[in-house]
Amino acid sequence: MPAHELQPDNWVDLYADYLFNYAIARVSDSELAKDLVQETFIAGLKSAKNYKGDAAERTWLIAILKRKVIDHYRKINSKKGKAEVRINYATDEGEGDWLEERVADPFSKGGDDSIENEELGLAIQDCIAKLPKKQAMVFNMKTIQGMSTEDICNELGINPSNLWVMVHRARTALMGCMNQTWF
Amino acid sequence: MKISLEKAKKICTKSQYGEASWWELLQLNMYLLFFKECAEFSSKNKKLSSLCEQANLHVISEEEKEAMKEKLKDC
């Protein structure tokens, strides 16, 4: 019996935001990232019969998404090739320096920070996915989308008191979930 | 003026979104002066806000998620 089974009916609720954050960190375009997530789910459905159950469902979907991101850049690069700018290292004045040093500032910590922030973002999404669905929804609307209390209450048909109870429970659960690594 | 620990924690959460009233903030601050457990919760709550901001999180809206589900049904 396989260790994991696919449950495509739950994919959007459980993994859409996680995959979206993974994609957006790589393509920096929200609409494109959404398309890639949708394509990932469709490709997952189509190749479900190949899933052996060795990897967790999310890991398997991330592997598909990675391929989608690579395919996207391949497509772009094949178009860009026609307008490629060539750098002639030998004729430049910086003899003895590595080409990489001219591209990236060796003293910059920007790269490390963005990797750590991505890791942090995925850890938070991981914990949000463990919350009851309505709590996760209210937390996302209030904290990530920054919606007003009134708009959320109207949209979900709840009163402000219910909303704050759910936000409070969600935050308490998130603090517990992230406690060991991030606090 | 006296409030329960649970109420103090809820006010603390509201204050993370700038939506606690001045009266609630006064009650919370009085509470924080005397109760260590609430002060610890408050500090973690602030840290969570700062982590969420630092992570620059993105979510897909509920309508878009429903549209995604519909497309998947058609596959």
- CB B51 within 8 Å of CB A182: yes
Better-scored residue on pLDDT, A135 or A106 = A135
pLDDT > 70 fraction of chain A, expressed in percent and rounded: 81
pLDDT > 90 fraction of chain A, expressed in percent and rounded: 64
Write down the architecture of domain A1-81 according to CATH.
Answer: Orthogonal Bundle (1.10)
Upper half-sphere CA count for residue A162 (Cβ side, 13 Å)? 11
Q: Is A182 on the interface with B (CB under 8 A)?
A: yes
CATH 1.10.10 residue spans of chain A: 131-183
What confidence tens digit (pLDDT) does each residue in A90-116 have? 444 545 454 444 444 545 555 677 788
User: Which residue ranges make up each domain of chain B?
Assistant: 5-74
CATH 1.10.1740 residue spans of chain A: 1-81
Contact between chains at B57 and A172 (C-beta distance less than 8 A) = no
Residue B17 has pLDDT above 70, yes or no: yes
pLDDT value at residue A83: 54
pLDDT value at residue B55: 93
How far does Cα A104 stand from its chain's mean position? 25
pLDDT value at residue B1: 62
Cβ-nearest to A21 among B57, B62, B69 = B57
Lowest-confidence segment of A31-35, A105-109, B61-65 by average pLDDT: A105-109
Better-scored residue on pLDDT, A136 or A3 = A136
Chain B residues within 8 A of A47 when measuring between CB atoms:
none
Q: Is A47 on the interface with B (CB under 8 A)?
A: no
Q: Is A27 on the interface with B (CB under 8 A)?
A: no
Residue A48 burial (CB count, 10 A): 11
**ipTM of this predicted structure:** 0.86
pLDDT value at residue A106: 46
Q: Chain B interface residues facing chain A, Cβ-Cβ under 8 Å?
A: 9-10, 13-14, 16-17, 19, 44-45, 47-48, 51-52, 54-62, 64-65, 68-69, 71-72, 75
The nearest CA of chain A is from the CA of B30 a distance in Å of 20
pLDDT value at residue A81: 58
In CATH terms, A131-183 corresponds, of 1.10.1740, 1.10.3470, 3.40.50, 1.10.10, to 1.10.10
